[in-house]
Amino acid sequence: MSKERAKVPIASGWAWKLANTNSSKRIPPDPRLGRWTPASQFPSVIQLELLHTGQITDPNVGENERGSQWVAECDWEYRCSFPTPSEASQYPTTEIIFEGLDTFATVTLNGKEILKSDNMYLPARIDAKNLLKDSSCDGENEIVILFESALKKGTELEKRFGVKQSLMRDTRRMHMRKAQASDHNVEDWGPNIVTCGPYLPIYIECYASRIENIHVITSSLEVLDDAEYAAQIRVKVQISGPAAIFTAKHSLEVEIIDESGQHVAHFSGADLLLNIAKPKLWWPSGQGAQHLYTAKVTLKDNSTILDSSSTRFGIRIITLIQRPLDNEPGKTFMFNVNGRNIFIQGGDWIPADNLLPSLTRERYFNWIRLAKRANMNMIRVWGGGIYETEDFLDACDELGLLVWHDYAFACGDFPVHQDFLDSIRKEVEVQTLRLRGRACLALICGGNEDFMLADTDGEVFEGTFLRKKIYDHEDVVGPFKDTDFPQREIYLDIIPNAAKRLCPDVQYWPNSPWGGAEEANDPTIGDIHQWDVWHGKGRSHQDYGKLSGRFVSEFGMHGFPDMRTVYEFAPRPEDRHPQSRAIDCHNKGHGAETRIARYLAENFRYSQKLEDFVYVSQLMQSEAYGYSLRDWKRKFGGKGKESCAGLIIWQFNDVYPCTSWSFADYYLRPKPAYYTIRRTFAKVTIGIERTPRSLWVDDDRPRDTDIPSFTLFAHNTTMEVKKYELVLTAYDLLTGTYIPYPVETQPVSLLPNQNTELGVVENPDSLTEESLIVLCAKLVDNSTSRDGKVEARHVNWPEPFRYLQWHKDTKVNVEVLDAENGSEWENVVRLTASHPVKGCLLYIDYDDGEDAIWEDNMLDLMPAESINVNVRGLGGRSIKNRFLNDWELGNDKI
């Protein structure tokens, strides 16, 4: 009699060895390499095994990564012996499933070749019914997987199909369906660690028939009143095996269950519409709760269960709104969830480790919790990495992070021969089916910067030349074959046709950036990547307000990681200075060493002591992100005025310990910029625009006065009008005194879900050309307590900071208090400064374990004003603090 589908892991008993040196001259003389060695874990990549045996050193430390690059030049083998499961004789179908092989793999089972794979994104399901040994008498089976060097295979493919254009790094990557983040690294933030191995699970399935896919979509959502909705969902179930052709004896039972375990509906059938009264909706973080339902499906043959499967889903509708603006060219690029327009506050996501099997479910959830804590509501999965895991997607579903997911194409001039396109078609099909039902999935995108690469001409980096492709930007139909840009077939034909067929409810976008009639990176339509700060024209970060687009999906500023991380990747005392080889090794940005110095010199006086240099780079990154976030959120007005409807910071995370654009480092340690982002992504924020912005004198463009004027604005992401008292305080660094302003308090109302302009501040008559005004603006809610609660605060300074002199007696007093009973925090730290302080960073000594968890940090302090910061994890340890130019004051801060 048929029984329920059986799944048997092939996860133990694996071993590995060197298969072929490919005449590499860099291989160490170690006889162990040619002997079978038990695998330390499964799934696996070969670098993890070599690390475990000590045959390579930790690539996260010093320059070790360069000493292990010989690994990628070789071929490697894995093998495993396993018994034939008893279930194999009880079912008509027995298959071996390879979820992912990295990348050029030849698989034999009991000496017979059963699979050749050259696409790490493409799982394989192999019929093994007649290939496995008889479990009763023939002994164990043996799987052997040969992984050929990706460098070797890339060279062969490049010779066959030609050299393709590449923005950076190895051109061979174009010919391989391999995570480009690990293939000589397509981007400028990670090491050259070219992995290979069985990086995803391998297992046996035995079944009569199986449930292949369950897809639940919200087909309609009706607003009944402010608090209630009516929804209709569609449930589609796909079956494989004999029961895929239904007979009278087969049945499919579907049960819908809510989070509390309550049964919402029960019905039979493979494709049904179901009305849900008063559904609990799924909302992005910051907009509401993340309610998830479960659809449980059971496949029966009469009364015998053949298979059962379940999937979680959210009831929600996500759309992309592109409509004309009132007084600006182009159209909006605005996400709407359940009828509500949402300003996107996001971060770009890259693979969280070079060695993918080392990523755990816990680590994924910790990353997404960190994102939620930063008040983010979207993650963009960048196209040069992987199709993210179920653990990552579970975390985003549960914690409310919308996902923009690129298909795995990045910065590419990919081949378009038939074998390559056929592989892509299969890849797109299987990955779209896997991703499509997620509550968090907001948009699927054809790739990253592929159109932008086609639009680029000239020498982009020293010795790297690109030729601009000539094509019609408005042609989205084709045919594209035999044109100057034939790769459009991938983004405008293959992927969108699959997406339309498999997930018509999910927005598809051809590339990032994309949309312009004359160039892909058009600020008036679609999304843009804004790299005129840091890259490109090298604009000042204070100019971000002038560099907006309808939706900015990449922009960034470098900053060093947490000092603990720096000490870990540069453990030798001789490497602990800003210009050491180890420090440079852990910064992969083209020309980053000169760019950091240039932006620091433009804005700050800085020291060459490593700890000071690191701190100032972190402050610079913090300031850059503060400017961009405030100025672009300011552009999200009411209907017809949403000239910027979202921003995604490049980048949220790191692939290994390094200096990069990330605002949390490889070890999940928040950089100081994290806190500035968290404040500026809060539900209510306030900003100040100073004119003139800089004290720097441009002799080509003289100005009439240096007396600053201040314009205030505030952003309210909630759906309610918010009423506050606006409180202003001003301090003159020239005189060392507070300056009274004509209007220092006034009531203000903030419109819901948009920016509100609060007007120009009236200056006192006492200001002079030499005045150096530090202006602090606060929004105070007096309805919650007698003293009022500060909902938002911002301090605006005269710039550049390199011009400012700090009082020699500047100190910050730190007082540790107990938190209130019932608080999630353990202590409150009260900060009081004797004089104005820029960028006060709180931390636990680097030799005293991991840092505490701070609610806020990297704070600007006004004299005699007390700021409270919640914290947990002090454990009785003393708190240190530092601030801008403290090294000039003789204070022992480090």
Report how far residue 478's alpha carbon sits from residue 806's, in angstroms, rounded to the nearest whole number: 63
β pairing state of 112-117 and 104-109:
antiparallel
Q: CB within 8 A of 396, min separation 6: which ones?
A: 368, 379, 402, 403, 438, 440
Contact 727, 745 (CB under 8 A): yes
Confirm if 145 and 196 have CB atoms less than 8 A apart. no
Q: Please answer whether residues 632 and 554 qualify as being in contact, where contact means their C-beta atoms are separated by less than 8 angstroms.
A: no
**Cα dist. 15→30, 78, 128, 143, 315 in Å?**
17, 6, 22, 11, 46
Active site residues per annotation = 449
CA distance 399 to 770: 50
**Sign of the C-alpha dihedral computed for residues 37, 38, 42 and 48 taken in this order:** negative
Tokens of 613: 């240099």
Of the candidates 199, 182, 196, the one whose C-alpha atom is nearest the C-alpha of residue 74 is: 196
Which residues, including other chains, have CB under 8 Å from residue 197's CB and lie 6 or more apart? Answer: 16, 43, 44, 45, 46, 48, 49, 76, 78, 101, 102, 147, 357
Question: Hunting for tokens 């397509």 — which residue is that?
Answer: 186
CB-based burial label for 213 (10 Å; 0-12, 13-18, 19+):
middle
Contact assessment for residue 642 and residue 549, using Cβ atoms and an 8 Å cutoff: no
Residue with tokens 């003139």: 692
Backbone φ, ψ for residue 700 (5° rounding)? -80, -20
Residues 677 and 629 sit within 8 Å (Cβ to Cβ): yes
Q: Are strands 378-381 and 344-349 parallel, antiparallel or unpaired?
A: parallel
CB distance 290 to 397 below 8 Å: yes
CA distance 684 to 717: 6
DSSP lists the bridge partners of residue 9 as 203
Collapse the DSSP code of 306 into the 3-class scheme (helix H, G, I; strand E, B; otherwise coil) and give the result.
strand
